[in-house]
Structure 1
Amino acid sequence: MGTRDTIRSAVRHVVPPAGLTRALAVQAMVYAIGHGLFQAGSAVFFTRALGLSPAQVGLGLSLAAGVSLLGTVPLGALTDRYGAQRVWQVGLLAEAALFGAYPFVGGFAGFLAVMVALAVVDATTGVARQVYSINVLRTEERVTALAYQRSALNVGFGLGAVISGVVLAVDTLAAYRGMVWFNAAMLLVTAVFVHRLPRVPVAAAPAEGPGRFAVLRDRPFMAVSLLAGLLSAHGTLYLVVLPLWVLSRTDAPRALIAALVLLNTILAVLLQVRASRGADTVAGAGRALRVGGLLIVLFCLVLPISALTRGGLTIAVLVLAAVVLTLAELVQSAGAWGITSTLPPAAHRGAYVGAFRLGGQLQYLAGPAGLTALGVTTGGWGWFPMAALFAVAAVAAVPVVSWAARHPRLGEAALDPAPQPVTPVP
């Protein structure tokens, strides 16, 4: 009986409850299957099917990231003006068209044009997707629903990666083109899902509202954005720094890197909903950011030990470090969702969600080079100042979030009002 209850509890924290939360999770999984397939095989597609050099691919990715960074806030304002669901759906259709055109791209200029356009569209749909989930759900349901979506995304990315193994094994131009078109098809299916979701009335903005960049003058909120962005470095640490450390500073087998990625995916699927408990309030979100930061500190102190061990003990230390960093990811993500679910005002939620993403995007631009230099190329001592940096961020999380909560958003004295009732689609 105890085992049965344990299994039932585990299933409840992986399979979302019937209704809107499940519908949002299903669309997330469908979307992620196509994107997981493309991401796993994109490097080969760019070099084999499009004939690009690795340097050209890297330059295109960097330029696209820069354009996306510059456009995050104004693109978020589009969501406030036209409605999250409409922007989300149009963005998915545009993304499907761009992926459909990818195999016909000729030369670096065409690749760069599609890459930049996809970055802009993806940034827009990312904001719209999150804003819709916040608008359509009751306050107490938002963080849990976003956690179920993250869990479903991990399932979808995993399935997509499995399919990519077949594509890479076939290793033909037709297979790589089919991979891209499959992603386009999944985007169209996702657009159908979004069209069938309940309608949410667009919150009316004041007649003489602030400009689209006014959110950047909200210093307390931008401080939270930068702080949360720094704490989102768990992704860079896991996918970039940890593998480089394993390869260059330990005696662990290379195959362990893939195993650690799989471990991260499994833990995210099983534990993301549990880890989001208590992050659905402003105070709870601040505490979640703090816990996430402290777990990153623990990771920075545990990982260097693996350079001093041998054999099975090295593997055990690396697995422990990976588990700690995964828990940091789950808790910090829940804290970030709690912030975007509670602080932004309804009429300017898109602009605020876009501004909140700025911190993470800045980390993605600077983090890989900076954290790798500090953690790996120093030989190991760089982990200790890195731990101190994250410790400061963790300690500052609660007071900075509290400061933002006391500060009115774009002239509004109160926090987010209750979401408006939704009208189901017949």
Structure 2
Amino acid sequence: MGARESIRTAVRHVVPPAGLTRALAVQAMVFAIGHGLFQAGSAVFFTRALGLSPAQVGLGLSLAAGALLLGTVPLGGLTDRYGPQRVWVVCLLLDAALFATYPFVTGFAGFLAVVLALAVTGAATGVARQVYSINVLRPEERVTAMAYQRSSLNVGFGLGALISGLVLAIDTIWAYRGMVFFIAVVFLVTAGFVRRLPRLPEVTRPTEPMSRLAVLRDRPFMAVSLLSGLLSAHQTLYLTVMPLWILTHTDAPKTIIAALVLLNTVLIVLLQVRASRGADTASGAARASRRGALLIALFCVVLPISAQTRGWLTVVALVAAATLLILAELIESAGTWGLTATLPPAAQRGAYVGAFGLGSQVQFLIAPAGLTALGVSTGGWGWYPAAAIFVLVGLAIVPAVARAERTPRLGEAPESTRPVTPVP
């Protein structure tokens, strides 16, 4: 009986409850199938199907990242103006149209136009999806629902990667063209899911609309955004820096990198909901962020051990370090959701959620080079100052959130408490 109850509990933490939480999780999984498929197969598609050089692909993606950084806050303002559900659906339809044009792209200029447009729609989709989830759910449900969505996203990413493996095995131009057409269909289906979700109640707007960039003047909030964004470096550490460390400083087989990526996916699917407990308030989210920071610091201390070991001991050290970083990711992600759900004002939530994402964009600009230089290029001693940095960020984020809570938000208006009812 105990084993049966344990299985039921485990299932409850993976399969979302019926209703709106499950509907949001299902759309997340469908969307992630297309996104994961393209992530896994895009490099080969760009070079084989479009005939681009690796340098052209790298330049185009870097310019798209710059457009994403510049456009996040203004695009969040569009969500406030037109409503998150409408922006979400329109951007998914645009994504479908853009992916359908990929097979007809010729040359770098056409590729750049499509990839820049996809960066813009992707940024708007991310903000709109998050704002809708926050607005449509009760406060006590928000973080848990986002955790279910993230778990479902990872399932979708895994399915997309499997499909990508089939495409890469066939390895023909028509297979790659079929891949992007399939992705376009996935986004159309996702748009249909989103359109059928319950409509949101109107949120009270301020009489004088706030400038789309005014949120950047909210210094306490932007300080939290920066600190939380720096903690999202766990992504860079796991997918970029740790693999480089494994290849250059350990005797572990290269295949362990793929095994650790699989471990990450499995643990997120199984544990993300459990790890999100207690992060549904600003103070609880701040403490979760602090725990995540300290776990990242501990990872930075444990990983260098793998350079001093041999054989199976190296594998054990790497799995231990990876597990610490996965736990940090699980807990820190819950902290981020809690902060974005509680700190922004209802009337300007899109602009604030967009501005909150600037912290992670800054991390993506500085962390790959900075953490690689500290951890990998120094031979190992640089991991210890890196650990100290994360400890300091963790210690700073709790008082920073407390200060942001005490400071009125720009354009703050009371949040509507009317229940959300499905549209017949």
Residues 316-331 of structure 1: pairs in structure 2 closer than 5 A:
316-331=316-331
Match of 1:152?
152
8 Å CA contact 1:14, 1:270 repeated in 2: yes
Report deviation, 1:420: 3.3
Offset from partner CA, 1:130-173 (integer Å, 9 cap, x none): 00000000000000000000000000000110111111100001
Report deviation, 1:418: 5.1
Match of 2:88?
88
Distance 1:419 1:54 in 2: 51
Matched, 1:423 2:412: no
Match of 2:111?
111
Report deviation, 1:392: 0.1
Offset from partner CA, 1:1-41 (integer Å, 9 cap, x none): 11111111110000000000000000000000111111101
Report deviation, 1:425: 1.8
Match of 1:204?
204
Residues 4-403 of structure 1: pairs in structure 2 closer than 5 A:
4-403=4-403
8 Å CA contact 1:88, 1:124 repeated in 2: yes
Report deviation, 1:366: 1.6
Offset from partner CA, 1:285-318 (integer Å, 9 cap, x none): 0000000000000000000000000000000000
Q: Classify 1:419/1:104 alpha carbon distance in 2 versus 1 (closer, same or farther; 3 Å).
A: farther
Q: Classify 1:94/1:411 alpha carbon distance in 2 versus 1 (closer, same or farther; 3 Å).
A: closer
Distance 1:41 1:4 in 2: 40
8 Å CA contact 1:98, 1:114 repeated in 2: yes
Report deviation, 1:423: 2.8
RMSD, aligned CA = 0.9
8 Å CA contact 1:346, 1:417 repeated in 2: yes
Matched positions, count:
424
Offset from partner CA, 1:313-356 (integer Å, 9 cap, x none): 00000001011000000100000000011111110000000000
Report deviation, 1:222: 0.1
Report deviation, 1:419: 4.2
8 Å CA contact 2:36, 2:159 repeated in 1: yes
Distance 1:382 1:295 in 2: 17
Identity in percent: 75
Offset from partner CA, 1:33-81 (integer Å, 9 cap, x none): 1111111010000000001111111111110000110011010000000
8 Å CA contact 2:38, 2:183 repeated in 1: yes
Distance 2:317 2:301 in 1: 11
Distance 2:411 2:47 in 1: 50
User: Partner letter of residue 418 of structure 2?
Assistant: Q
Report deviation, 1:202: 3.5
- 4+ residue segments displaced more than 6 Å: none
User: Partner letter of residue 300 of structure 1?
Assistant: C
Distance 2:88 2:66 in 1: 22
Distance 1:333 1:396 in 2: 17
Offset from partner CA, 1:369-389 (integer Å, 9 cap, x none): 111111101110110110010
8 Å CA contact 1:139, 1:419 repeated in 2: no
Query: Can you give the 5+ residue segments of structure 2 that lack an aligned partner in the other structure?
Result: none
8 Å CA contact 2:79, 2:87 repeated in 1: yes
8 Å CA contact 2:294, 2:391 repeated in 1: yes
SS of 2:319 mapped into structure 1: helix
8 Å CA contact 2:204, 2:416 repeated in 1: no
Report deviation, 1:206: 1.4
8 Å CA contact 2:278, 2:285 repeated in 1: yes
SS of 2:419 mapped into structure 1: coil
8 Å CA contact 1:295, 1:325 repeated in 2: yes
Moved more, 366-375 or 232-241: 366-375
Offset from partner CA, 1:386-409 (integer Å, 9 cap, x none): 001000000111101111111000
Report deviation, 1:411: 4.5
Distance 2:330 2:315 in 1: 22
Q: TM-score, normalised by structure 1?
A: 0.98
SS of 1:408 mapped into structure 2: coil
User: Partner letter of residue 125 of structure 2?
Assistant: T
Distance 1:352 1:55 in 2: 35
SS of 1:344 mapped into structure 2: coil
SS of 2:377 mapped into structure 1: coil
User: Partner letter of residue 35 of structure 1?
Assistant: H
User: Partner letter of residue 423 of structure 2?
Assistant: V
Q: TM-score, normalised by structure 2?
A: 0.99
8 Å CA contact 1:85, 1:199 repeated in 2: yes
User: Partner letter of residue 224 of structure 1?
Assistant: V
SS of 1:376 mapped into structure 2: helix
Query: Can you give the 5+ residue segments of structure 1 that lack an aligned partner in the other structure?
Result: none
Distance 2:373 2:74 in 1: 33
